[in-house]
Structure 1
């Protein structure tokens, strides 16, 4: 099993419901959200498996002797000390070959919270094995990213962290052209609007390659 700490909007929010319908799967209950779509589904397989989210602490195997309940208790404590804040959403935004929701402008509270979470949960993480390191393609990383991968288990932390909520697989130009009109129409109500960052969730993967499910959600309480 692997665990991850993600931001995701509340299950009942309009954004969460819209994204779940777009991806075809709800990570809160693991159920399909619509009929199969032979045009869209092959282009959203990866974000559908992970569930609509922004990575705060990337998926990790638990260190020896660490129970998921311990991680859950630490997340409750961490979130209780956090103050809610908002970002302005930009969606759909291009992120390399992917399409995602991203912040319209830099957010110091977001960067601070994400960095603090990486530090807080690193002690619960098992060291990366050779397969996990290879998956990150270390030969393509910068020196700093490689150092972060070694020390923190993920190359995109601290100054390399970029908040994003992925809505597609990596797309070819023709696939992006085909998908973008529906993406723009679906997510137009959220583009340029505030998005509250006021909770974090533990997502779990029962076995490698399985769909991620929400295990627990903890609200920010330091109002």
Structure 2
């Protein structure tokens, strides 16, 4: 008798994640129903406009990735690379950087989904994301056919297609827009309800202060949602 003993090839991502005890982390985790650091479900959001089943459907997509903002999009490890190499690179990358602050965040509509965006442009965030895209690309395995097909389902500009080919992700460098996803795609009427629901909770959350960026987070996905496996504090103050 034989059995399939193949292991699932993990994926990794470099994200911005708010500090674990911060109001922003607690609120974002409650919205999507999952704490990526503990790996536990979070059902603390008391909903008025949605039942729990529908809200879990609405937040299924961001729940797979955990609350975050992308710095280096998910990738499989390149041949010859191991997780310990990636962890060491994360530590070096963080040690060379200083913490900074951006204006507070606000609820925003991006296409058909809801997310947090910074209240105004933050060049330091753009520079951090661009640096992460380049610094960690040596750890990224080339896209396979399924990964490429998935990325190409969305309409891409010529520059975005070039970035997909070069960096494995189309929304980098000039195409990068900092955001922290809260829902999956919604039709206009339901999106308006969800926005009203989240706006009420956000106003009471205490999460609307300046966005402090003082570390990067390494996430890993195996056979379930992404988990936050390590935080790397920046090496100095700005």
Task: Report the TM range for the smaller structure's normalisation.
Answer: over 0.9
Contact 2:72 2:133 in 1 (8 A): yes
- Give the TM-score of the pair, scaled to structure 1: 0.94
Indicate if the aligned counterparts of 2:105 and 2:211 stay in contact, CA closer than 8 A.
no
Q: How does 1:16-35 map to 2 (within 5 A)?
A: 16-34=25-43
Please give the TM-score of this superposition, normalised by the length of structure 2: 0.88
| Rounded Cα–Cα distance in structure 2 between residues aligned with 1:191 and 1:102 | 13
Partner in structure 1 of residue 144 of structure 2: 129
Gaps in structure 2 of 5+ consecutive residues:
1-9, 45-50
Contact 1:8 1:53 in 2 (8 A): yes
Contact kept in structure 1, 2:69 and 2:181, CA below 8 Å: yes
Distance 1:153 1:3 in 2: 13
* Count of aligned pairs: 221
Matched, 1:109 2:124: yes
- Unpaired segments of 5 or more residues in structure 1? none
1:77 matched to 2:92? The reply is yes
The answer to whether the aligner puts 1:219 opposite 2:233 as a matched pair is: yes
Equivalent residues of 1:89, 1:101 under 8 A apart: no
Q: Which residue number corresponds to residue 18 of structure 2? A: 9
Correspondences of 1:118-157 after superposition (within 5 Å): 118-137=133-152, 140-157=155-172
Structure 1 Cα separation of the partners of residues 231 and 24 of structure 2: 16
Q: Given the superposition, is the C-alpha separation of residues 216 and 191 from structure 1 closer, same or farther in structure 2, using an over 3 Å criterion? A: closer
C-alpha displacement of 1:191: 7.0
Deviations 1:47-103 (A, max 9, x none): 111111000000000001101111111011101111111112332111111111111
Which stretches of structure 1, 4 residues or more, deviate above 6 A after TM superposition? none
Relative distance call for 1:204 and 1:94 in structure 2 (3 A) is same
Q: How many angstroms does 1:192 deviate by?
A: 5.4
Residue 39 of structure 1: aligned partner: 54
State how far apart, in whole Å, the 2-side matches of 1:138 and 1:16 are: 31
The residue correspondences of 1:83-98 to structure 2 (distance < 5 A) are: 83-98=98-113
Cα-Cα RMSD: 1.6
* Corresponding position of 2:75: 60
In the alignment, the residues of structure 2 paired with residue 139 and residue 218 of structure 1 have an alpha-carbon distance, to the nearest angstrom, of: 32
CA–CA separation in structure 2 for the residues paired with 1:15 and 1:191: 5
Greater mean deviation of Cα atoms: 92-101 or 182-191? 182-191
Task: Flag the structure with larger Rg.
Answer: 2
Does the 8 Å CA contact 1:89/1:104 hold for their aligned counterparts?
yes
